[in-house]
Structure 1
Amino acid sequence: MTTHKLCQFLGAAMMAIVTFSAVNADEFAGKQWPAAKQVAIDDVKHDSWDSLLQKYVDEDGMVNYQDWQNNETDRALLQTYLESLSQANPNAKSDEKAKLAYWINAYNALTVEGILRVYPTTSIRNHTARLIGYNIWKNLYLYSGSSKINLDSIEHQVLRKMNEPRIHFAIVCASIGCPRLLNRAYTADDLEDQLTANATDFFSRSQNLKIDTKDSILYLSSIMSWFGSDFGDSTTKQVQTIAPYMSKEAKAFVAKGNFSVRYLDYDWDLNKQK
């Protein structure tokens, strides 16, 4: 190889490395707090997140991303809220309900922040590269106490280990196939009612549950396929776990038994207001 060609090869290789690094660069939300200023999760307030949800999210969980993105004051308010989440020391002793509410809010707020950074877009799947490129679930981090955490870890390493399967009807990946984004912040005091209400709402929607009485088939959201083990170690137990949140008709159908379970296609279109 001539010196000229070698230089060309090395130059192209360096460019590829730079490009690869750029497209896989991590992004961060919130801010780093010194240990002396960190607080327990119990002390984190969710009022600002609550006010933003009431303003930009409707009863069906659809989000007005465009107006939110264009409002500098409310974009800044979301940043301030994320910074307050960052101030929490996740290792400090806190009430379990407060922890659960905190992490659900953190997941949803970080997801909204991630979408607002790339909006306009048609789906979060446009930003979840499998091999090379930015992946909102893996490359967007929230500063958390003295560490950092991404969406993937919040879901699988924190929330799923808290033994509350209804989190799957509360955390929202900005898609129509997800549960609705509740337009109120989750709080320790209201958590039980909020989880029950959102689980009930989830299974009231035909995109998440359908019954075929003729062929005895119960159609469920793909969420129940992906995370079925969180609801029980068999399909029968999983259906028993979610039955209390079904309609009367669906409850009567599953009570009879002798049905098969199939899973519905998932709608990854963005949960934006029309």
Structure 2
Amino acid sequence: MAELIQVGTDTPLFNYTCWTELLEIIVTPAGKVDYTLLMQHHNLLQRFITELGTVSPDTAPDRFPTPEHALAYWINAYNAFVLAAVSAEYPVRSVWKVRDGQFFTRVQHSAGGVTLSLNDIEHRVLRGRFHEPRIHFALNCASNGCPPMRPQAFEPTGLQQTLHTATQQFLASEWNCRIDHAQKKIFVSRLFRMYAEDFAGTADSTLEYRHGVLRFVAEHTGEPFETLADYAIVYNIYDWGLNDAHRDPQLRPITFHESVETFHAKDGVLRELYLYDGNFCNRACSWCTVFGSPQGWYQAHTTRVLDSALATVAQDGNIKFYGGEPTLHSESLLAAMRYLRARGFSGLFTIYSNGVKARTLIDLLDSDLQSEAVLNYSIYLGRDAEPLPTSAKALLEAWGREHPMRLFTGYKVLYHVGAGVDMVFDRDREPDYHALAGCVLCFPVLKSTGEFHACPLAIENPAPHFQLGDVHTPAATLFNNYQAFRTWAVTVLDPAARERQITSCAMCQKRLAELPDYRSLLPEAPLPANSPNASRRPGTH
């Protein structure tokens, strides 16, 4: 059992001696974990886990007399439970590669006799109670993108200084924070994107969130905030590879894509907009959400449509081109990109592609330095789809190595939408396996035919529930309609899907007529800006 120490005569306080003893053995100078040594000294880990299970700040508050005592307990508990979960399945390449995919949501960790998941500890306890953003530089979820593992326990005494030092050490790494004054850009860890609200407080606009992150960075790096205030933030790729001392971090040349924009009610303008020009495609995948095929339709984006996009999306936001296969109409796509640039759009272009026409895709990316491409996961890896031709894959990977953070793959989930509505997928490709059974709240779509649609996955579904307006609809009305749709998805769609024990995507495809549409919510307020299903992966480091 972990030792207890006395304060006064009657109050035994929690002590982390055995936890520190283990950490000093298994943590390398670089902050990685030697899992071979962990397995050899598993008795120390089990001893600490047992002690965590007997007492917690909730069940024995007298043993945790200050907020620092409680905070130290939960930080150490999280890190210990992570090691226990990894060791149960080691060797494993990533926490996302565990047998059931539920590494963070599995309810199996006992704290004071109460069984919790890692998400419970991080989000409900640590983030929910303490409102301390520096926990993100203390928690370690066994991934290379996490802060280094500390070789000692986090102790209550001096905890504030320990967290301050941990934050400074994290930001001292160029991969976690690099300021390019010449380009007026700051490159930071994606942790700042995942948990922007923790660094920015109650802000509810993109500008306020950006300034909140920049103030935090300025405070902990010594850079004046006034210098950074108008700098663009670039979020680095997050490396989910296991933080194994015996395995070098190795990012693929083409890594998983994560969007950088989030909806905020006070923005008053969309931060992201999809542009859809039809489902004409050189592939006909059985699960395609838009029914893409060589028999599909195509219509180029007109200047009227592009002008409407400019009026609707933030000038420094993200415009995403998809179909169908955009590279089949590369001249039209290039003309659209140039038209938008010439009229003041300074943000990011994202092109969704199957990558078959690799040279064409690369030419499009080379034409605009503020562009990126996302390859279809199934086609790129040859899983549940005809694989990418070997020559195309080699060409794209070579370009990706030379141009980091420009070429990505999409997520592995296959949604029950479009052609895949009735298909049964491998378990690790099902949305609920990744805690994505609810609406993922994507940003809306402007079709080349002139209509605004609420969902890029259900774009071929003409139901009124998705209709936000058209190119003649004022931008403010479109924004309000989309905000109402988000509220409808969270308060009407998701509960109805849960009641019927299906995903929200399946609900939209099969039983949408049973529900009123979002217009029923328009006269009412407030309309929540964000929800637990916001467009990002389940909350983790």
TM-score class normalised by the smaller sequence: 0.7 to 0.9
Question: Corresponding residue for 1:97?
Answer: 68
Q: How many angstroms apart in 2 are the aligned matches of 1:53 and 1:195? A: 17
Distance 1:143 1:155 in 2: 14
- 1:89 to 1:213, Cα distance in 2 relative to 1, 3 A: closer
Q: Deviations over 1:178-198 (max 9, x none)?
A: 011111100100311211111
CA distance in 1 between partners of 2:235 and 2:27 (Å) = 28
Q: Matches of 1:240 and 1:253 in 2, distance apart?
A: 6
Partner of 2:153: 185
- Aligned-partner Cα distance in 2 for 1:175–1:122: 9
Change (3 A) 1:60 1:254: farther
Q: Which one-letter code corresponds to 1:120 in the other structure?
A: P
* Cα distance, 1:194–1:59 mapped onto 2, change above 3 Å: farther
Name the structure 1 match of 2:114.
147
Give the total of aligned pairs.
Answer: 226
Offset, 1:108: 0.3
Unaligned runs of 5+ in 2: 2-10, 204-208, 247-541
Q: CA deviation at 1:52?
A: 0.6
Q: What does 1:25-36 correspond to in 2, within 5 Å?
A: none
TM (normalized to structure 2)? 0.40
Alignment of 1:7-156 (within 5 A): 43-69=13-39, 71=40, 74-91=41-58, 92-93=60-61, 94=64, 95-127=66-98, 133-156=100-123
- In 2 relative to 1, CA 253–217 (structure 1 residues): closer, same or farther, beyond 3 Å? farther
Change (3 A) 1:107 1:149: same
Contact 1:44 1:84 in 2 (8 A): no
Q: Tell me which residue corresponds to 1:257.
A: 229
Q: CA shift at 1:256, angstroms? A: 5.0
Number of the residue aligned with 1:227? 195
Partners of 2:218 and 2:225 within 8 A in 1:
no
Distance 1:43 1:255, change over 3 A: same
The normalised TM-score by structure 1 is 0.77
Q: Which one of the candidate residues 221, 224, 244 is aligned to 1:272?
A: 244
1:244 pairs with one of 194, 198, 219: 219
Percent same amino acid at aligned positions?
29
2:25/2:37 contact within 8 Å kept: no
1:139-218 equivalences in 2 (<5 Å): 139-161=106-128, 162-218=130-186
User: Hey, which of these two has a bigger chunk of helix by percent?
Assistant: 1
Q: 1:106 to 1:203 in 2, by over 3 A?
A: same
Q: CA deviation at 1:121?
A: 1.5
1:255 to partner: Cα distance: 2.6
Distance 1:213 1:87, change over 3 A: same
User: 2:193 & 2:157 partners in 1: Cα distance?
Assistant: 31
Matched residue of 1:138: which SS? coil
Structure 1 residues 87 and 224 mapped into 2: Cα distance closer, same or farther (>3 Å)?
same
The higher radius of gyration belongs to 2
Name the Cα RMSD after superposition.
Answer: 2.1
Q: Deviation digits for residues 218-268 of structure 1, max 9, x if unmatched? A: 11111000101011122112221232222x5xx158635321112111011
Q: Which has the higher contact order (CA 8 A, sep 6+)?
A: 1
Question: Which blocks of at least 5 consecutive residues in structure 1 are unaligned?
Answer: 1-29, 31-39
